[in-house]
Structure 1
């Protein structure tokens, strides 16, 4: 994030009990959605708060994503890596006590977030003023997957313009998300295989959420990015139940700018076929792409009244992106696309 973006950041998401909604110029210095509430209402709202911070890594030889998430009653951490050359997917997951990751309210400058269990450690350190963020992974081998480790440095000064938005959701929910694209440098290791990240070629997309989600929650979401000589270019797009007139998180990244998108459609070419391409488009035509999946990560859980039916596909985008007054032709751009249906 440039110094101009940081200087434009509001101090608080919630100030004197009043929450900011809409598209913000940057992530507020402090984000705590609970500050909108007091007393018993605050305690009840805490039970509905869902928080996570994750990264999608973009590299020519591997698809990989990771996430630290806290549902308050349970925390979890997941990471996967799919080798394009062998077609092999490896993944690790672990659970912990709710609240234990302690996602920091002040994230970008000095924020530290860790999931630390025996054999499963994932750490984010954010140092905006020093111009870098770091990701550290140390996950032991299991009976089903090899060890994974990583030391990655993200170039905060070379990042694209941030996407920061808060909105009201149906059923009394609230959403806040912050997303940004960073050039990435370092090494990801999966077993004996090393993937070297080069900052002129490879990227990491941050996805931070702090939201009160409705009990019945669903969304379709995708993202991709590519480096250019002028900075990262890409898109973040979603379709979920919304209230009329409320801003949502769909946007395109142009060099130095983040421009809103709306009315996104996701259309699988062959519904029910997990290998079928998806057509994804905005009504105004600035996003018009086809996503071709190369694999997917699936999560299904049933816990009485709680349930999750989720999958994230990883693959390649082709088509057209219009951003910042320019038109970009996409062919083989790496990214992800996912579906969530849950009772939370």
Structure 2
């Protein structure tokens, strides 16, 4: 892709603070860069192409998920659409261990919305329901509702959470080309209130302490895909602080999906390095940025692995839950809850 094509975006549109005025694609031209707000319509398939839209759809991977940060539990959930297959996963880890559930459904059935505000995406399949209820405006009150029945070897999970958009972090909203593909992502840390119940144990979420971090993606991944990714956040006396950071192949000179969340701001970040202390699967990791604004150590507590090997496709994936300590733009963070993951795939 030529550099002039990468720069063929409307600067006023990228910098707009008015969500209803922002689009990912304008008159068939994909916009690249960092947006101040989530585009009102984030459908990459609106881009003009000689390849039919239906064929491009099958290459598009879309997901909307949340990671929950609470002092007593770690939890994550996702609705994901590959168009030939759709699926969902959820886990909650507490002192009793890891509780996990998942479902596969017909490809294309989730209809993940490219206009997020308002929308109500959900999965409802055989005793497994996860539903998001997005308000009309980003600054509204959004909801997560989960009702997953117990299985023979896994406890039930119930959730009823409200997310306060008016006190959320600054949004990370990035559109970037990838070598052999393209990426759009939107991430926000929301103060969360409500309850999470796993088995007979109920945890109260306090919006002055606890967070739900959104991870939305619309990405055409290259056939061989690799990344390292981490995220964490917490509420300090001055506001939300944390970071989202990734190490993956990129097109030189383009934006990465990395940022620092500082009170009231989302600051661009790049050139991230991940270093593991040893080959132990639960060894600590150190993550730093080249400019020194991010310098944290991740201490894992638990790990889940997924491996599939097929003739033309494979996945080697892990995600760890744990805590981060160090500095974010000079702000000291101590034992903030977060996750770290690795993906190596042929898709």
TM score, norm. by length of structure 1 = 0.93
Aligned equivalent of 2:70, options 48, 59, 74:
59
Pairwise CA RMSD of aligned residues? 1.5
Structure 1 partner of 2:332: 329
TM-fit CA distance, 1:75:
0.6
Three-state SS of the structure 1 residue aligned to 2:167 is coil
TM-fit CA distance, 1:5:
7.8
Three-state SS of the structure 2 residue aligned to 1:276 is coil
Aligned residues: 332
Q: Provide closer, same or farther for how the CA distance between residues 65 and 37 of structure 1 changes in structure 2, counting only shifts above 3 A.
A: same
The answer to whether structure 1 residue 290 and structure 2 residue 301 are counterparts is: no
Structure 1 partner of 2:163: 154
Structure 2 partner of 1:193: 201
The answer to whether structure 1 residue 32 and structure 2 residue 43 are counterparts is: yes
Distance, in Å, in 2 between the alignment partners of 1:196 and 1:332 is 20
Is 2:19–2:40's contact at 8 Å kept on the other side of the alignment? Answer: no
Structure 2 partner of 1:318: 325
Distance, in Å, in 2 between the alignment partners of 1:101 and 1:233 is 32
How is 1:25-104 mapped onto 2 (pairs within 5 angstroms)? 25-38=36-49, 40-83=51-94, 85-86=95-96, 88-104=97-113
**Structure 2 alignment gaps of length 5 or more:** 1-14
TM-fit CA distance, 1:228:
2.2
CA deviation map 1:190-249 (0-9, x unaligned): 010101101001000000000111011110000000112332111000000011111111
Distance, in Å, in 1 between the alignment partners of 2:19 and 2:118 is 18
Q: Provide closer, same or farther for how the CA distance between residues 8 and 131 of structure 1 changes in structure 2, counting only shifts above 3 A.
A: closer
- Runs of 4+, deviation exceeding 6 Å: none
Structure 1 partner of 2:255: 247
Distance, in Å, in 1 between the alignment partners of 2:312 and 2:211 is 38
Q: Which moved more, 1:241-250 or 1:130-139?
A: 130-139
The answer to whether structure 1 residue 204 and structure 2 residue 179 are counterparts is: no
How is 1:109-120 mapped onto 2 (pairs within 5 angstroms)? 109-120=117-128
Is 1:10–1:26's contact at 8 Å kept on the other side of the alignment? Answer: no
Q: Provide closer, same or farther for how the CA distance between residues 321 and 231 of structure 1 changes in structure 2, counting only shifts above 3 A.
A: same
Is 1:275–1:295's contact at 8 Å kept on the other side of the alignment? Answer: yes
Distance, in Å, in 2 between the alignment partners of 1:55 and 1:78 is 11
TM-fit CA distance, 1:285:
0.6
Distance, in Å, in 2 between the alignment partners of 1:167 and 1:232 is 26
TM-fit CA distance, 1:297:
1.7
Three-state SS of the structure 2 residue aligned to 1:43 is helix
Structure 1 partner of 2:9: none
Distance, in Å, in 2 between the alignment partners of 1:242 and 1:270 is 27
The answer to whether structure 1 residue 138 and structure 2 residue 147 are counterparts is: yes
Distance, in Å, in 1 between the alignment partners of 2:238 and 2:129 is 35
CA deviation map 1:94-148 (0-9, x unaligned): 10011111111111x2111111111111001110537211001011111221111
